[in-house]
A and B are shown apart, each in its own frame.
Chain A
Amino acid sequence: MRPAPLLTLLIAVLLPQLAAGQSLRGAVESNSALYFDDPALGPAINKWGSNNYLKLDWQRDSLSAGLQAEWYPQALAGYPSELKGAGLTGLYIDWTHGLLHLHAGSFYEQLGSGLLLRSWEDRDLGLNNCIDGGWASVRTGGRELEFKLLGGFPKYGLWPTGASALAGADLSLDVLRALGVQSLHSFKLEGSFTDRMTLQGDSDIDFLAGSAGFSVPGHLMGWSARAQYAREGFSLKAEYVGKGADFYAEQLPGAKESYRLKGGNAQLIEASAAVGPFSGTVTFRRLENMAEQIFLTISSPSIANTLNYLPSLCMQQTYLLAGLNPYVTYADGEAGVQGDLFWNFRRGTALGGRYGMKLHVGGSWIEALPCALPDRSESHLAYRDINIDLEKRWSRSFKTIAFVSIQENSPTHGNRKATNAQNVFVLDGQYRISSELAARLELQYLYSQELSRDWMAALVEFTFSPHWSFTLSDMYNHGSTGVHYYNVGASYTLDAFSVSLLAGRNREGMICSGGVCRWQPAFTGGVLRIQWSF
C-alpha cells in the first residue's frame, strides 16, 4: 500500500478514537433590529443594527480550549460606539493537573466582590472587558489554601487597547480547614493585589495633570482584604479595598473642576441569616473615588472602559414602571445600606393557606459623601426606596403578586436637596388554563409629581408550553407627554434553540443589568433575537 492511502486509513481509524471522550460545546446568538422614523420620537438615528456572537468550547479530560467571535456590522442603538466590525474576542487554552491550574489566553476574573477587579461579559450592556493574558493557580489538596497569579491586557471593544496592562494576585485561606477542624462553620480570610500599568498615556490627561503641577503615576496599585464567616443559616462577609493615587477630577462649586492625585477606598459588609420561615440579608457599602478605568481618558464615557464592579446598591427592578428611573452608583463617593427580608408562609399554616404565601420587604438608603460634592459642608440623600411584594397562590391554577415600590432619587447625586419621588403599584396575576396553556396580566401605575409625572402600563402574556409565548404591552405617560410605548412580541423555543421577535416603541432611558447601566435612546422598530447552544 502506498504511504498516502495508509496515512488516510490511519487517520480514519485513529481520529474517531482520539475524538472519543471529548466534548464540544458552542453557542450562537444574533440580535438584530430595524428602526423606523416615528412622529412621536423623531427620525431614527440608524435604520438597523446587529450584534452577533459565536462561542466554541472544547474539552478533553483536564484540557480545554475555546474561542469567541463577535460581529457588529453596525451595533444596536445605544451600544458602545467601539463595537464595530468583527473580531476574535476570546481565545484560550486551559489545563488542570492535580493541584495546579494554568490558563493562557482570554479570561474573566473577579477578585472578592469585584470592587477591586472584575472582568466580565454582559451582552445587554455591550460590555466585555475580558483580559488577554493568562493566570496560574495552585491549591492544597483540601482547598485550605489557594493562590492565583494573573496578568494581561484588558479588552476594550473588540481588542485590547494596548494602553494598559494588568497584573494581580489573590490568596485565599480556609482557616478552619487549615487547622484541621471538622466543623459546620466556615471561616475564610482572603487578600488580593492588582497593578494597572499605563503603557500609553492620554495626552489630554497628561496636559491637565502637568498644568496642575503633578504627573500621572504609571502604576495604579489596588489591594483588598476580606473575611468571611458562615454556618448553617448565617453568613457574614467584610471587605476593605484600597486604591492608590490616581488622576482625579475634583468637582468645585459653579460646575468647575480642579485636578489632583487622589486615592480611593471602599468598605463592604454583608450579612444574611435564615430562621424558620424568615430569611434576610443586609449590606452596607461605602465608596470613595473607586471608579477604575482600563485607560485614563476625559473623552470616553463608555461603560466598557471599566476594570471593577460598582453596582448600584438597590434592588434591580423587573416591572416596567418600577425600573423607569433607576439609580446609578456615584463612584466618586457614596455610602448606603440595603436590606431584604423574605417571609415564607408555608402551606397549611393559618396565613399560608392551602398553597402558601410569600412576602418580601426590601429597601435601600444611599447618601452622597460630602468629600465628593462641590459643596463640602453637607451631603444629601442620593437615593432611597422601599419595595414590598406579596405573592399568593389561590388555587392550583391561579396566582397573584401585589407589588409596591416607593422610590426617591436625587438627580444631582445628593449635591442638592431636591429629589424626584415616584410610587409604583403593580398587580400581577397568572392563570393556568390547562397544563400547557397559561395567561398572565400585569397592571401597573406610577404616581409622581416630578419628571414626566404619572404613567400607567399593562401587559398580557399567553404561553403554550413548551414552545410558544406571546406578549402585548403598553406603557402610557398620561401625566406629561401623552405618548404610548407599545410592544408586541412572540417567541419560539425548541430545546436549546430560541427565536423571539419584539416590535414596538421604546422610550429612552437607562438600561441596567446587574446594577450597571447604559443609556438607551428611544426607538421604534423590531428586534429579532436568535439563540442556539449545542
Chain B
Amino acid sequence: MKRLVTLVLLCCLAALAVRGQDIPSVGLVDASGRKVATSSLIDHKTPFVISMWMTSCKPCLKELEAVMDEAADWDGDFPLRVYAVSVDDSRSLQRAVAMSKAWEGVTPLFDPNGDLRRALNVSAVPQVFVYDKDGNLYHTHIGYRPGDELQLLATLRKCAGK
C-alpha cells in the first residue's frame, strides 16, 4: 500500500513537472488554401499572438479591430505578430476570407476542420493566446471586453522582455 501511495505521489510530481504548453502541431490554411503548420509561426526571435475568431462572433471582430487600431500605432520595439485564426466552418469560410482581405496589421489564417480549436480546447470564441518566441504558452484570455487589447499588448511586451 505504501508503495502504491509513493508511486501515486511520484506520478503527481511528474505531472507537475510537465512543462507548460507548446503550441500544438496542427495544420491551418492561408487565404490561398495552402497549408500552414503552426510550428512555422515560431521564429525564435519574437513572441506572437493567436486570436481565435469567427465571422458570426461580434466580440471577436471588435477585438481584432481594436488590435488593428493599436497595431497602426505600434512603436516598433519588435515586430507585432498577430495571427487571426478563423474557426469558421466550410459554410462561412469564404466569408471569413473576404472579410479579412482588408485587414492590416493582422495575418488571417483559417482552421476549417477545427483542428487547432480542438487542440487548444477553445470552447467559445474569442480566445487569445500569447506565445513566447519559442512557442511556449505565456498567457491566454477568454472573451473580449473593450480595453482588453491594451492588456494584450502589455502582456506581449512583457513576454518579449520589453
Contact = CB atoms under 8 A, between A and B. Distances in A.
Interface of A: 4, 8, 11-12, 15-16, 18-27, 29, 53, 55, 57, 59, 62, 64, 96, 108-110, 112-114, 120-121, 123, 143, 174, 186, 188, 228, 230-233, 235, 237, 270-274, 277, 279-281, 283, 309, 311, 313, 316, 318, 340, 342, 344, 430, 432, 434-438, 463-469, 491, 493, 495-498, 514-515, 531, 533
B43 interface: no
Given A64-B24, A309-B90, A531-B142, 18 more contacts: A4-B3, A16-B13, A20-B19, A24-B21, A25-B120, A121-B114, A188-B33, A233-B101, A281-B97, A311-B91, A316-B92, A342-B102, A463-B147, A493-B142, A493-B145, A495-B142, A531-B124, A533-B140
B21 A23 contact: yes
A270 B94 contact: yes
B44 interface: no
A143 B34 CA distance: 9
Nearest to A12: B10
Nearest to A362: B95
Given A114-B90, A531-B142, A108 B118 contact: yes
Which interface residue of B56, B112, B119 has the most chain A CB atoms within 10 A?
A: B56
A498 B143 contact: yes
Contact of A318 (B56, B102, B114): B56
A72 B71 CA distance: 44
Contact of A11 (B7, B25, B140): B7
A306 to B, nearest CB: 14
Which interface residue of A16, A18, A430, A468 has the most chain B CB atoms within 10 A?
A: A16
A22 B121 contact: no
Given A19-B15, A230-B31, A493 B114 contact: no
Given A108-B113, A340-B98, A342-B98, A25 B119 contact: yes
17 contacts: A24-B15, A57-B119, A108-B113, A108-B118, A110-B112, A113-B90, A120-B114, A281-B95, A340-B95, A344-B102, A430-B146, A432-B146, A465-B148, A495-B139, A495-B140, A496-B142, A533-B122
B147 A272 contact: no
Contact of B14 (A15, A272, A313, A436): A15
Contacts of A514: 89, 91-92
Given A233-B101, A495-B139, A463 B146 contact: yes
B58 interface: yes
Interface string B24-52: 11000001111100000000000000000
A436 B145 CA distance: 8
A16 B9 CA distance: 12
B141 A463 contact: no
Contacts of A123: 123
A235 B33 contact: yes
B19 A274 contact: no
Contacts of B119: 25, 57
Contacts of A313: 91
Given A8-B10, A120-B114, A279-B98, A232 B121 contact: no
A47 B48 CA distance: 46
Contact of B150 (A24, A231, A281, A435): A435
A10 to B, nearest CB: 10
Contacts of A465: 145-148, 150-151
A438 B141 contact: no
Interface string B77-94: 000000000000111101
A324 B55 CA distance: 19
B148 A59 contact: no
Identify the 6 closest CB pairs spanning chains A and B, nearest first: A465-B147, A27-B121, A15-B14, A274-B101, A16-B17, A438-B146
Given A23-B21, A279-B101, A466-B141, A11 B10 contact: yes
Contacts of B58: 318
A531 B32 contact: no
Contacts of A20: 17, 19
A269 to B, nearest CB: 11
A508 B33 CA distance: 40
B122 to A, nearest CB: 7
Contact of B10 (A15, A281, A531): A15
A160 B157 CA distance: 48
